[in-house]
Chains A and B, each alone.
Chain A
Amino acid sequence: LAKTTQPISMDSYEGQEVNITCSHNNIATNDYITWYQQFPSQGPRFIIQGYKTKVTNEVASLFIPADRKSSTLSLPRVSLSDTAVYYCLVGDVPGNQGGKLIFGQGTELSVKP
């Protein structure tokens, strides 16, 4: 299973763009990169998923370089409500050759006014 490394915490201000980078040097060929968001006292919520290059949805963008050894979650113009823990998951799903979705320790993002 690919191990992930993220910053433990980050601070930002409202209106700024926030980039959270996740390192995964031993990512396997079949592994996808998935990001989740978790608010206090709630279960995690899926944000975005990708395999290579760039993926964008209404919430965030995910940048993955060609070597796939890292990925960056980009949150445009954050607000106070984006204060949460963000998890980077790297792996394959159980439906594909018995993969497992393993969470790392996450990055605690604090957005200030």
Chain B
Amino acid sequence: NAGVTQTPKFQVLKTGQSMTLQCAQDMNHEYMSWYRQDPGMGLRLIHYSVGAGITDQGEVPNGYNVSRSTTEDFPLRLLSAAPSQTSVYFCASSLRADSYEQYFGPGTRLTVT
């Protein structure tokens, strides 16, 4: 199993551009989530999904959209990038929505200029 994969590893965007961060898992996990990590802020939950077709907001959802059309994929869309979205983004998954053990991807480092 590849586990949780994220692409790209690094990305630079200009303010106002849009892009999609990709996240995929091959473990048939039910639950998937997106976090952002900023210096001194720990990880903050952006959006999460308890199964295909079901998504919900986390702590900091503004400026981000998600969808979950398949069990494997959970892309994160930035509609109009802002410098405040410069961060490291982590995708995670767990076997079931009532599991506490999440498996994290390697992260995407995004810079918005």
Which residues of chain B in 1-60 are interfacial with respect to chain A, using CB atoms and an 8 Å cutoff?
4, 31, 33, 35, 40-45, 48, 50, 56, 58-59
Given contacts A49-B101, A95-B96, contact A43 B42 (CB under 8 A): no
Alpha-carbon separation in the docked complex, A45 to B101 (Å): 8
Question: A residues touching B (Cβ–Cβ < 8 Å)?
Answer: 32, 34, 36, 41-46, 49, 87, 93-96, 98, 100-106
Whether the pair A105, B98 counts as a contact (CB closer than 8 A) is no
Q: How far is the CB of A65 from chain B (nearest CB, A)?
A: 20
Q: How many A-B residue pairs have CB under 8 A?
A: 69
Structural contact, B43 and A46, CB atoms closer than 8 A: no
A44 to B103, CA, bound (A): 8
B107 touches A100 (CB 8 A): no
Residues of chain A lying within 8 A (CB to CB) of residue B97:
93-95
The A interface is mostly helix, strand or loop, or mixed, namely loop
Q: How far is the CA of A42 from the CA of B102 in the complex (A)?
A: 14
The reply to whether B90 and A43 contact each other, CB–CB distance below 8 Å, is yes
Residue from B43, B48, B59 in contact with A94 in the complex, judged by beta carbons closer than 8 Å? B48
A113-B80 Cα distance, complex, nearest whole Å: 47
Task: Find out whether the CB atom of B35 lies under 8 angstroms from the CB atom of A103.
Answer: yes
Contacts of B43 on A, CB cut-off 8 Å? 44, 87, 103
A100 vs B47: C-alpha distance in the bound complex, in angstroms? 10
**Residue B75 at the A interface, CB < 8 A?**
no
Tell whether, in the assembled complex, residue B100 and residue A32 are in contact, meaning their CB atoms are under 8 Å apart. yes
| Residues of the B chain whose Cβ atoms lie less than 8 Å from the Cβ of A103 | 35, 42-45
Q: Check A101–B98 contact: CB distance below 8 A.
A: no
- Rank and list the top 6 A-B pairs by shortest CB-CB distance, nearest first: A43-B104, A95-B97, A95-B98, A103-B43, A46-B101, A105-B42
Query: Are B96 and A87 closer than 8 Å at their CB atoms?
Result: no
- CB pair B45–A102 under 8 Å, yes or no, is yes
Assembly CA distance A4 to B100 (angstroms): 17
B1 CB, min distance to chain A CBs, angstroms: 16
Q: Within the assembled complex, what's the spacing in Å between the Cα atoms of A45 and B94?
A: 12
> Considering residues A44, A94, A103, A106, which has the most beta carbons from chain B within 10 angstroms of its beta carbon?
A94
In the complex, which residue of chain A has the Cβ closest to the Cβ of B106? A43
